Amino acid sequence: MSKELEQIGWSMPDLASRVALDLEDGWFVNLGIGLPTLVADYIPEGKEIILHSENGLLGLGPKPEPGEEDWDLVNAGKEPITLRPGGAFFSQSESFAMIRGGHLDAAVLGAFQVSQYGDLASWKLPNATLGRVGGAMDLTAGSKRVFLFMQHTSKLGPKIVEECTYPLTTPRCVDRIYTNLAIIDVTEDGLLVLELAPGVTFEYVQERTAAPLKVHADLKTEIIGVQL
């Protein structure tokens, strides 16, 4: 990532908080490996979001304080987690039955690439000799909504493209994209920018996106701390 991108837009904790705001009360939500796990730390007080991990956990809480980790209690990325009151753990087969049965209201996942049509590539980089789809294929097919949580670009270039060039996880599955620069909906009419990060313009985002973007009629933007 360039130094420029490190200094502009939402930080990853800020973006996690923004994603958490859009999760509705009572939803069952899977958090994918990597950046999406940050969302668990920012669920608003008083909002009941039941977090799911495909290794067989329901009711995840925020990350434990340093020194309070229980390494028998980890998420799918083998990171230590806490369990909220009423939480449960069970077999992985039961966990995937929940996913494949359509019981998850949303999945928050990472991505290597996403196309303007909502195609997702999340399991193998170009020229990589290793890679596996894993649970992402089930999550994108079985969840009612798929939200992506990612950096807008990588060292390889834009991550939002017209057509994915990496191996696909699932075609036309993504509903919304959250990046450090913007929040973008995938619609039948194309990619619709809903919200811009502080200090970011639409033109700045378009320059870093390899697919055409459209502006939502009620676009939210914040320039130098002033809501416009």
Question: Tokens 């806490």 map to which residue?
Answer: 82
DSSP E strand stretches across the chain: 28-31, 50-53, 57-60, 83-89, 106-109, 113-115, 120-121, 146-149, 153-154, 157-158, 160-161, 176-178, 182-187, 190-196, 213-220, 222-223, 226-227
Q: Name the catalytic one among 54, 68, 162, 195.
A: 54
Q: Cα(156)–Cα(126) distance, rounded to whole angstroms?
A: 10
Q: In the annotation, is 207 catalytic?
A: no
Residue 122 near residue 111 (C-beta atoms within 8 A): yes
Residue 31 near residue 108 (C-beta atoms within 8 A): yes
Whole-angstrom Cα Rg for the chain:
17
For the annotated catalytic residues, the residue numbers are 54
